[in-house]
Structure 1
Amino acid sequence: MSLASEGLTPSDEDWDRVLPFQLDALGVRGRLVRLGPSLDAIIERHGYPLAVARPLAEAMVLCTALATSLKYDGIFTLQISGDGPIRLLVTDLTSDGALRGYAQFDSWKLAVALGSGNHDAPDGYVPKLFGQGRLTFTVDQGQHTERYQGVVPLEGATLADCAHTYFRQSEQLPTGIKIEARREETTDGPHWRAASLVVQQMPEFDAGRIDVDQDQREDDWRKAVILMASATEKEMLDPALPGKTLLFRLFHAEGARLFERRAFQARCRCSRERIDGVLKSIRREELADLRDPQGLVAVTCEFCSTQYAYDEADLDRVYASDA
């Protein structure tokens, strides 16, 4: 499906979706990921400060962009851990499109790092808000398969920079990534938008460019990265601008081919059965710290904030199953 054959009209179908594309003239494939309602559902329920929420939004769109470049049947997880004000940030995407994420942070350290009167994450926020740490990618396809994990230090001013470090160190194909995220106040409340553009050089055989010399391949790759980088924040996050229109603006001369969109939704995988399993891994007498003022054992899912309460009869059932 070519860009020229598509009607260019705004559509809600552009959001919470990935739009894969290929630039045959440059031997490059890519993806445009745009998240909207899913971010609202995940981020706003936690009430995170803006300086925590925006890095989470960027991490979620990065997770989605990287996960959709792989063929897997399971869970792709992106985790950032550090010694800065944001201690931990986790987001994952299942192969059937369930997206979730959460963050842990120190409010006092965050206020000190931001300074008086500042609320949003500053440009180049990774060193200031995460400190020294690492970025981890994990692909888990179940107990009968080997789990893949890639770990790199947090090197760079932005999450895109850190992802570039991963691709350089993993010796994979050259990859370019651009990320934007913004929270807007509207008449019906705050709304999030985040987008990521990814371009990746294809293997020579897959691209059908075996006869193209190395100098030309490098020139074509540089051109693809320059075109990708020319996308503005406004273009990437504009709800009235269809994704195919954006790709047409960027790559119309390269004859970009579009592929079928894939949709995502905010959905947590927590359940009472899963929490039962967590409790069973803890000795019953060690549950005192989890009890609320009414004496119930209360467990809250960090991803979706759902609370699971257990009275003594519930605990009898959980621990009796091991008898």
Structure 2
Amino acid sequence: MSSAALHDDLSLPFQIEQCDTRGRLVRLGPSLDRMLARHDYPEPVSHLLAEATALVATMAAALKFDGIFSLQAKGDGPVSTLVADYRTPGHLRAYARYDAERLDALALGPGATATLVPLLLGGGYLAFTIDPQGPDMERYQGIVDLSGATLADAAHAYFAQSEQLNARVVLGAAHRKGVDGRKHWRAGGILLQQLPLQAGGLSTEDRTFAWEKVTALLGTAKADELSDPALGHNELLFRLFHEDGVRVFETGALTDRCTCSQDKVRGILSTFSPEEITEMTTPDGLISVTCQFCSDTYSFPPDAVKG
């Protein structure tokens, strides 16, 4: 395994003990690149979806639950829908729906990545949904208006509304040239969360100072650093927080994996009426369904899906 591969598709929990802060670093490489390559999105759409995938992986990996954590953005801009979800233990999928003509009319320049939310999504909302598995587990959804220039800004609005503890996140994505001479998508994110006040721990005043310090340091993380395959995750954390000491824990794997299957699609089609099945049947005598996440296509003769 190459040294670069050791820094790919992983989630790394860490703690800055002297500052009463815990965190999570996510690095996405080949899994993200495969996910985006299936759709051949325009580069600005891919960039936004890469950051959304890094965001949902960063936030979900910090939660202690079994189930699905999803992000969904709906806007009135050229990108009408943006969806990314994380399923334990680390399965990711994502897709975007966009209007090609409206997107082309924007004529986005190289600096547009700093303001992709208002440019591409426009006005709308951002929803985060926790759908835990198991009996007596309730589904939770938090919704905020799309605000700010980036998905990180929108996430901060969600944190302010939904979290009792302070939290901050930075995201970065890039279409970088690899050792094979071709460009590949990469992304990363770092989430910081202030730990609950503990007896014998930092005073309220010291906690405030410590939080201001670590978030200021977090703000110095650059998109190029978050997506650099040659920069190790431990090295990145050391660069940012070495003055207060960073303790890292075991990494978790992240992978591109959809939930669709032949049986699931057949089951969905079997709920349609005979008239609807007839309408969906193409001249070649088949019903074809393409998954919006992974772009796999499933084809059935009508008799195979009748309820």
Question: 150, 158, 161: which is aligned to 1:169?
Answer: 161
Determine the structure 1 residue equivalent to 2:65.
Answer: 72
Matched ranges for 1:109-148 at <5 A: 109-112=102-105, 114-115=106-107, 118=109, 121-142=112-133, 144=135, 145-148=137-140
Determine the structure 1 residue equivalent to 2:53.
Answer: 60
How far off its partner does 1:13 sit?
Answer: 2.1
Structure 2 CA distance, aligned partners of 1:45 and 1:261?
A: 27
Structure 1 CA distance, aligned partners of 2:271 and 2:285?
A: 20
* Contact 2:277-2:302 within 8 A present in 1 as well: no
Runs of 5+ consecutive residues of structure 1 not aligned to the other structure:
1-8
Q: TM-score, normalised by structure 1?
A: 0.89
* Contact 2:47-2:113 within 8 A present in 1 as well: no
Q: Which amino acid aligns with 1:20?
A: P
Larger mean Cα displacement after TM superposition, 68-77 or 160-169: 68-77
Matched ranges for 1:78-97 at <5 A: 78-97=71-90
* Contact 1:55-1:121 within 8 A present in 2 as well: no
Is 1:106 aligned to 2:96, yes or no?
no
For each residue in 1:20-74, what CA deviation from the matched residue of structure 2 results, as whole angstroms up to 9, or x when unmatched? Answer: 1101111101111100011111000111111111100000000000001101111
Question: 193, 196, 202: which is aligned to 1:200?
Answer: 193
How far off its partner does 1:197 sit?
Answer: 1.1
* Contact 2:281-2:302 within 8 A present in 1 as well: no
Structure 2 CA distance, aligned partners of 1:156 and 1:256?
A: 30
Structure 2 CA distance, aligned partners of 1:161 and 1:264?
A: 24
Larger mean Cα displacement after TM superposition, 184-193 or 57-66: 184-193
Determine the structure 2 residue equivalent to 1:5.
Answer: none
Relative distance call for 1:292 and 1:118 in structure 2 (3 A) is: farther
Relative distance call for 1:142 and 1:290 in structure 2 (3 A) is: farther
Determine the structure 1 residue equivalent to 2:142.
Answer: 150
Question: 300, 313, 316: which is aligned to 2:290?
Answer: 300
How far off its partner does 1:232 sit?
Answer: 2.3
How far off its partner does 1:11 sit?
Answer: 4.6
How far off its partner does 1:309 sit?
Answer: 0.5
Is 1:218 aligned to 2:211, yes or no?
no
Is 1:246 aligned to 2:239, yes or no?
no
Is 1:183 aligned to 2:169, yes or no?
no
* Contact 2:225-2:236 within 8 A present in 1 as well: yes
Relative distance call for 1:250 and 1:163 in structure 2 (3 A) is: same
Structure 2 CA distance, aligned partners of 1:172 and 1:14?
A: 32
Q: TM-score, normalised by structure 2?
A: 0.93
Q: Which amino acid aligns with 1:170?
A: S
Structure 2 CA distance, aligned partners of 1:248 and 1:267?
A: 31
Structure 2 CA distance, aligned partners of 1:209 and 1:67?
A: 30
* Contact 1:27-1:209 within 8 A present in 2 as well: no
For each residue in 1:155-206, what CA deviation from the matched residue of structure 2 results, as whole angstroms up to 9, or x when unmatched? Answer: 111000000000001142111111000112444533111010111111012x
- Percent sequence identity over matched residues? 43
Relative distance call for 1:81 and 1:120 in structure 2 (3 A) is: farther
Structure 1 CA distance, aligned partners of 2:200 and 2:61?
A: 24
